[in-house]
């Protein structure tokens, strides 16, 4: 619903808005925690699929999103010029559609079906996930322009995300004794069913506790001249305009740097997630229960990491936080490599003696207590969690500021298309990482197992799993750290940017000072005299109805 007389800065978010909007990451991150943490393992262990087939199911749907991600972002940006957008909300209409359909998540975790069934079920859920994720991600950027408030939105989101990941990792432990023991696929079905209901609930909370960016003066003037509907010509031009907007985002220097940082942090985790369960099963010699408990420890550490990272980003900016996180995650990977090479004496027997409770290793009064066992079980996984939590937080904290950089260049607010591009790039890269991981694990000779079956993997298979889990993430972390070196967006530079955007909106053609000009040009990658849509051929007409010479500027 439109609030015509409300300036975007007039409505200040409260803790209800921070946590209400942030609760959406029960779906945003919770679904991904289940999918990346368990689905590959579920398919290969309980469904009789090969690692290659499991990788295809997880990877192929992401290729379809080369169309759906930018399309949803583009359409949600432009629905503000339609009756639906004005009455329901250009973002919220997508959220409302997903609410009754999200419990279908549980259908993916049913055994006894074919490759085609699992592929189609996963495609359907991924479409719902995208319909929620992209419009939802724009809302934090729309509800405030304040640097600290944006960081708080990102922080609330990531704290809830890590809580969801803890639930995703520990639920199997809680359900194992209720539904057939450690080798029952029902454990995963009920976990997915619980999450499916939770997904619908939190999307409802998001709808009730968030608002969309109010219309600016120019947009209100346009609304009085808006046509009754979308013309055939405008509809046919949607793909052309959409892909033009899609590629125009890459002309923003800060966004290009951000994508590299984003992919470095997230792809390192995708590869780690694909291989970790196999590493635990073959190198640490643990079962589903051990995997669940170790993942729980990791996600608790991620939660702590996010709380610390919020303060680092607010006080110093995202770059320092990112480098510290990459260092900790990298240290964890190196420790796992040392474990594989050294195979500490007595570890396997001590590990087996713990039975179903790994946390019993922390009790120094327990017979056979071993400091070595405690170190190798918990230090690497805690370090990994401390690094991963911040690696998750930093990119989505930075995203909230990128539409401000884009506005300086184009004179428009395009939160939707930026969320669409980020999600598209993320999913395409994740698709490639997961499919490649499955192919590498299969190529290494890994033998798929049936529930309860004990199979001795070959040394080559174990070596392949270890090399993938350690080497792949390290490479991604190095690439992300290199990209962060020239990234200059922080609290100080963002304040200068917002100040200059206000001046540009009021008709300024020159920067207030040479220092301001240098900062804005560094973030945008454009000369100051080309900003606000003055760059030749760059002003993006991201609307369905507006003529090229009258872009919607808030």
- 69 neighbors 418 (Cβ within 8 angstroms): no
The pLDDT score that the predictor gives to residue 234 is 64
Q: Which residue in the block uniquely carries the two structure tokens 């729309």?
A: 142
Cβ neighbours around 304 below 10 Å, total: 15
pLDDT in the model for residue 267: 93
pLDDT at res. 283 = 84
Tokens linked to 47: 């469904």
| pTM of the predicted model as reported, rounded to 2 decimal places | 0.75
With contact defined as beta carbons under 8 Å apart, do 205 and 23 qualify?
Answer: yes
Q: Look at residue 181 in the predicted model and tell me its pLDDT.
A: 55
If we measure between CA atoms, which residue out of 14, 59, 173 comes closest to residue 430?
59
Angle at alpha carbon of residue 386, lines to 384 and 387, rounded to 5°: 65
H-only helix segments in 210-360: 217-223, 232-236, 238-248, 253-282, 288-316, 318-342, 347-353
* Cα gap 244→410, rounded to integer Å: 13
pLDDT for residue 132: 93
- Quickly tell me which residue has 């990658």 as its tokens: 525
Return the H-helix or E-strand segment holding 6: none
For residues 262 and 466, the answer to whether their CB atoms sit within 8 Å is: no
- pLDDT on residue 521: 95
Annotate 156-204 with three-state secondary structure. HHHHHHHHHHHHHHHHHHHHHCCCCCCCCCHHHHHHHHHHHHHHHHHHH
* Residue 79, pLDDT score: 78
The whole-number pLDDT of residue 332 equals 97
pLDDT in 10s for each residue of the chain, 554 residues: 333 333 444 578 899 999 999 999 988 888 887 887 788 888 988 888 888 898 889 888 877 776 788 888 888 887 777 777 777 888 899 999 999 999 999 999 999 899 999 999 999 999 999 999 989 988 988 888 888 888 889 889 888 988 887 887 777 767 766 665 556 788 888 888 988 999 999 999 999 999 887 765 555 554 444 444 555 566 567 677 777 887 888 899 999 999 999 999 999 999 998 899 888 888 876 656 677 788 889 988 998 998 899 888 888 888 999 999 999 999 999 999 999 999 888 787 888 777 777 888 888 887 778 888 899 999 999 999 999 999 988 988 888 888 899 999 998 888 888 888 887 888 788 778 878 888 898 899 888 766 555 567 889 999 999 999 999 999 999 999 998 888 988 888 999 999 999 999 888 889 999 999 999 999 999 999 999 988 744 444 433 333 333 333 33
């Amino acid at each position: 619903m439109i609030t015509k007389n409300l300036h975007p800065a007039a409505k200040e978010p409260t803790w209800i808005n921070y946590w209400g909007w942030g609760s959406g990451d029960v779906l945003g991150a919770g679904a991904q925690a289940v999918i990346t943490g368990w689905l590959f393992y579920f398919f290969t262990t309980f469904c009789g699929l090969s690692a290659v087939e499991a990788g295809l199911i997880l990877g192929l749907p992401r290729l379809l999103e080369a169309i759906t991600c930018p399309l949803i972002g583009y359409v949600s940006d432009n629905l503000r010029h339609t009756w639906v957008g004005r009455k329901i909300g250009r973002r919220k209409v997508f959220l409302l559609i997903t609410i009754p359909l999200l419990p279908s998540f549980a259908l993916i975790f049913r055994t006894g079906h074919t490759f085609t069934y699992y592929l189609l079920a996963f495609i359907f859920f991924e479409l719902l996930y995208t319909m929620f994720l992209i419009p939802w991600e724009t809302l934090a950027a729309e509800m405030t322009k304040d640097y600290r408030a944006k960081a708080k939105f990102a922080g609330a989101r990531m704290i809830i995300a890590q809580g969801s990941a803890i639930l995703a990792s520990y639920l199997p432990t809680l359900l194992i004794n209720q539904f057939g023991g450690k080798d029952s696929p029902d454990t995963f079905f009920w976990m997915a069913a619980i999450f499916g209901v939770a997904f619908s609930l939190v999307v409802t909370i998001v709808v009730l506790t968030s608002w969309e960016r109010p219309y600016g003066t120019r947009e209100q003037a346009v609304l009085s001249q808006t046509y009754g509907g979308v013309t055939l010509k405008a509809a046919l031009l949607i793909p052309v305009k959409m892909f033009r907007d899609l590629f125009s985002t890459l002309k923003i220097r800060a966004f290009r740097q951000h994508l590299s940082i984003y992919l470095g942090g997230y792809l390192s985790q995708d590869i780690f997630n694909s291989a970790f369960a196999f590493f635990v099963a073959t190198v640490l010699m643990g079962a589903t229960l051990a995997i669940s408990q170790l993942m729980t420890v990791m996600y608790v550490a991620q939660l702590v990491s996010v709380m610390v990272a919020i303060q680092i980003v607010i006080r110093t900016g995202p770059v320092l936080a990112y480098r510290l996180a990459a260092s900790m995650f990298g240290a964890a990977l190196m420790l796992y490599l040392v474990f594989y090479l050294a195979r500490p004496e007595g570890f396997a027997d001590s590990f087996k003696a713990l039975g179903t409770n790994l946390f019993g290793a922390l009790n120094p009064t327990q017979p056979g207590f071993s400091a070595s066992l405690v170190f190798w079980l918990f230090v690497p996984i805690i370090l990994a969690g401390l690094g991963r939590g911040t690696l998750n937080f930093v990119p989505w904290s930075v995203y909230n500021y990128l539409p401000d950089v884009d506005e300086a260049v184009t004179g428009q607010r395009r939160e939707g298309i930026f969320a669409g591009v980020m999600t598209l790039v993320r999913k395409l890269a994740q698709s490639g990482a997961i499919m490649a991981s499955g192919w590498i694990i299969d190529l290494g000779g890994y033998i798929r197992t049936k529930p309860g079956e004990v199979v001795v993997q070959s040394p080559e298979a174990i070596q392949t799993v270890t090399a993938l889990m350690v080497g792949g993430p390290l490479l991604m972390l190095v690439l992300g750290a290199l990209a962060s070196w020239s990234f200059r967006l922080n609290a100080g530079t963002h304040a200068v940017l917002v100040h200059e955007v206000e001046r540009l909106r009021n008709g300024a053609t020159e920067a207030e000072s040479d220092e301001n000009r240098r900062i804005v040009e560094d973030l945008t990658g454009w000369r100051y005299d080309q900003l606000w849509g003055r760059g030749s051929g760059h002003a993006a007409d991201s609307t369905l109805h507006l003529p090229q010479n009258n872009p919607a500027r808030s």
